[in-house]
């Protein structure tokens, strides 16, 4: 049997040299004796020199074999240490995690959780990149993305770690000046603050029991980032359609009023997305599990 792996041949040679026996070398390496013999023969063939002198009763190093053994005697421990260092990233929660997340979720929610996570896991560092763009995880070398909307793409694994209901909100002052909408259709006469990346486009969807209503909107203000729309809503510019994780604190503080409360809108799933790989690093698994636990306790996010 020939092998293309020179390290396999080296391991076999060193084992035979140290035990003076193909059988004992095979036992040490958990291989069959013919496999060990074949690997040593392939190593000798590739090098063009005989390393072992074989007789029916013994195995001894040739002069070339002795020189080769002395040169290699420190190699295997280094290789094993290198393997241990590499596999530790798979088995232990250590290393750096590159994470992509949207700004409206990242700044207010993920950043404080990252700080808590780092205290609990001193062997991990995190690089958090805040962007509305759906990054290519493999090409841009991200370990993980947290996304509020999901676009199916090849070679990724997704895990839902939470969800946040969408709400229609405006300031109490705006409602006093312009009236409270009683039905979704009433929004046509209101100044609508629209999230530009809404997957339905400029149409707001509502449902109540078996009734479904689609409301086309002509935005008074349109933006691709939730916190900017929140600022506009808090300034009294109009009615905003935003997820609970953006408007929740302002609602609880009385700065925003929830409108059309008896109508259901959508719920935004929050996903952890990472490259498809059977060997997900322990650091990523640990971080995703932590986020799912903490986000599940958040008042504006439903548990996974």
Q: Bridge-partner residues for 181, per DSSP?
A: none
Residue 84 lies in a domain: no
Co-location of 169 and 252 in the same domain: yes
Residue count of the chain: 304
- CA 220 to chain CA centroid, Å, is 36
d(CA 259, CA 265) in angstroms, rounded, equals 11
Domain that holds residue 230: 164-267
Co-location of 225 and 274 in the same domain: no
59, 51 in Cβ contact below 8 A? no
Co-location of 227 and 96 in the same domain: no
Reading the chain (304 residues) residue by residue, the pLDDT tens digits are 444 555 668 888 888 988 999 999 889 888 899 999 999 999 889 888 999 988 777 788 998 888 888 888 766 666 665 656 555 555 556 788 999 999 888 888 999 999 999 999 998 999 999 988 878 887 888 889 998 765 556 677 888 999 999 999 999 999 999 999 999 999 999 999 999 988 888 999 999 988 999 999 999 999 988 999 999 999 999 999 999 999 999 999 999 999 999 999 988 889 998 887 656 678 888 999 999 999 988 888 887 6
Q: What is the pLDDT of residue 287?
A: 93
Co-location of 156 and 278 in the same domain: yes
Distances (CA, A) of 10 to 6, 94, 148, 194: 6, 31, 51, 66
Co-location of 98 and 42 in the same domain: no
d(CA 42, CA 230) in angstroms, rounded, equals 70
Co-location of 188 and 246 in the same domain: yes
Co-location of 133 and 258 in the same domain: no
225, 273 in Cβ contact below 8 A? no
d(CA 242, CA 115) in angstroms, rounded, equals 26
Total domains, the chain: 3
Count of alpha carbons within 13 Å of 70, Cβ hemisphere only?
6
Co-location of 283 and 152 in the same domain: yes
Residue 228 lies in a domain: yes
d(CA 118, CA 284) in angstroms, rounded, equals 13
Structure confidence by residue, pLDDT tens digits, 253-289: 999 999 999 999 988 889 998 887 656 678 888 999 9
Co-location of 290 and 143 in the same domain: yes
SS3 assignment for the chain: CCCCCHHHHHHHHHHHHHHCCHHHHHHHHCCCHHHHHHHHHHHHHHHCCCCEEECCCCEEECHHHHHHHHHHCCHHHHHHHHHHHHHHHHHCCCEEEEEEECHHHHHHHHHHHHHHHHHHCCCEEEEEEECCCCCCCCCCCCCEEEECCCCCCCCEEEEEEEEEEEEEEECHHHHHHHCCCCCHHHHHHCCEEEECCCCCCCEEEEEECCEEEEEECCCCEEECCHHHHHHHHHCCCCEEEEEHHHHHHHHHCCCCEEECCCCECCEEEEEEEEECCCCCCHHHHHHHHHHHHHHCCCCCCECC
Co-location of 260 and 169 in the same domain: yes
Residue 289 lies in a domain: yes
Co-location of 51 and 188 in the same domain: no
Residue 283 lies in a domain: yes
Co-location of 202 and 243 in the same domain: yes
* 77 phi/psi in degrees, rounded to 5: -55, -35
Residue 80 lies in a domain: no
d(CA 191, CA 240) in angstroms, rounded, equals 9
d(CA 3, CA 147) in angstroms, rounded, equals 45
Q: What is the pLDDT of residue 132?
A: 83
Residue 174 lies in a domain: yes
CATH number of the domain at 109, please.
3.40.190.10
Residue 104 lies in a domain: yes
Residue 300 lies in a domain: no
Q: Is pTM, for the whole model, over 0.85?
A: no
CATH number of the domain at 39, please.
1.10.10.10
């Amino acid at each position: 049997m020939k092998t293309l792996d020179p390290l396999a041949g080296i391991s076999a040679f060193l084992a035979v040299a140290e035990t003076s026996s193909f059988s004992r070398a095979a036992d040490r390496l958990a291989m069959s004796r013919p496999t060990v013999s074949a690997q040593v023969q392939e190593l000798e063939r590739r090098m063009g020199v005989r390393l072992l002198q074989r007789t029916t009763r013994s195995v001894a190093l040739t002069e070339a074999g002795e020189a080769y053994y002395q040169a290699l005697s420190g190699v295997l421990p280094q290789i094993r240490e290198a393997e241990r260092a590499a596999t530790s990233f798979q088995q232990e929660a250590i290393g750096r995690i590159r994470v992509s997340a949207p700004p409206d979720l990242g700044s207010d929610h993920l950043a404080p959780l990252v700080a808590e996570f780092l205290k609990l896991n001193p062997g991990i560092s995190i690089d958090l990149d805040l962007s509305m763009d759906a990054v290519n995880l493999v090409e841009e070398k991200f370990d993980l993305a947290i996304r509020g909307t999901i676009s199916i793409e090849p070679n990724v694994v997704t895990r839902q770690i939470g969800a946040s209901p969408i709400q229609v909100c405006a300031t109490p002052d705006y409602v006093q000046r312009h009236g409270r909408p009683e039905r979704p259709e009433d929004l046509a006469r209101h100044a609508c603050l629209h999230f530009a990346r809404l997957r339905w486009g400029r149409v707001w969807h509502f449902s109540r029991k078996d009734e479904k209503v689609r409301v086309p909107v002509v935005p008074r203000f349109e933006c691709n980032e939730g916190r900017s729309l929140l600022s506009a809503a808090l300034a009294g510019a109009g009615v905003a359609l935003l997820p609970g994780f953006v408007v929740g604190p302002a609602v609880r503080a009385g700065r925003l009023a929830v409108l059309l409360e008896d109508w259901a809108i959508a719920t935004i799933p929050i996903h952890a997305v990472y490259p498809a790989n059977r060997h997900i690093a322990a650091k990523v698994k640990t971080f995703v599990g932590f986020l799912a636990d903490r986000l599940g306790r958040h008042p504006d996010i439903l548990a996974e």
